[in-house]
Structure 1
Amino acid sequence: MSPDSGRHFWRDLGVQLPFLAWLVVLWMLLWAQFTLLSFVTGLVVAIFVTRVFRLPTVELSGRINVWYAVTLGVQFLFAVLRGALSVAVQVFDFRRQPGTAIIAVQLRYSDDLMMTHVAVASSLVPGSLVVEADRDRRILYLHVIGVRSMADVEKQRAGVLQWEKRIVRALGDPAQYRALKEDERAEASR
């Protein structure tokens, strides 16, 4: 083993370690067991899956803003609660049916990973579900309930774009974060 390949191995391991840890956590959640045995079997399965089904290495930005990440988590929890209450009210309002729509949202700062984060966050908030993602044009198509007018549609679209901004602030790479800040300065100067 050459010194170059040794460095390559440790760099790949450092990049893949968060992914392996996430797979182990998912395994333990899947079996609802947080024991040493489930950890070890999850680790074996994670290593097996990542070695047999080789996927391209996911390049993380390496940038996490702790303040924005915590803020994102709190805002997400409140959005889930608010969405659940909103859907419950719409379901039990027998006077009228909740309006539905399929909306297209053009993302501004997203690469594949950010687009995935935005799609997951948007789908997990009750009342909306991503039905398609156009990766090449960076468009998410969402099925949303509780819309009765174009103003409601625009409000939903703005909500998805707000999730994108929050995620870029918390996890985006430096170029995405700079683009977001430039857009915010341009909007403030108008």
Structure 2
Amino acid sequence: MTATRAPRDSWSSGVLSAVTTALVLAVLVLAVALTVVPRMLDGAALTVLTGSMVPTYDPGDVVVVRGVKDAATEVRVGDVVSFQPLPDDPTLVTHRVVSFRSTADGPRWVTRGDANGADDEPLQAQQIKAEVVYHVPYVGHVTLAAGQHRSTIVVGAAIALVVYGAWMVLSPDRARRAARDAAADPAVGLAEDPTDADATAEQRASSDKVAS
């Protein structure tokens, strides 16, 4: 009698493999979006801490910005920029440019948070450091909770998921190869049913009696 694997086990293994693979791909895409792309753009991934840009960006979102070298040619009204509120202050604020002014002292950009009712102080070109390219919702909550160890945690989790995903993807292949080998050799994967053996013994006994 041929031994077969339960269909439920095969189905659950396939679902688990698909979910794991999707999770691995999502982690890899997220890692590229938050680490590789910002480096390519000479920018950074910044966590939104306040609600000044709601509903565009919520606290806990991560905005990916590209570096701005020449604000006069790169920044336009409507762009969302990250800037230093005070010259030489490392603190960055991310708001939208709402107007542009030409003054005797040079160009000025006026910004305002989407949720704010008042404009910020006009900015000089050197205060504008970056422009927002895209954002990733909710991820900032994880990075804030991880604190200084977030890079180690992300790398460790990514490695663990990749290893587990590779194992899940390769295991069905090994099972299929074993099944093909069993199909090629009928003696492999077969189990003798005791009832068949008893029936065979009875037939042989009957044959002996007839022959005698």
Q: More strand by proportion, 1 or 2?
A: 2
Asked which structure has the greater CA Rg, the reply is 2
Give TM-score scaled by structure 1 length: 0.21
Q: More helix by proportion, 1 or 2?
A: 1
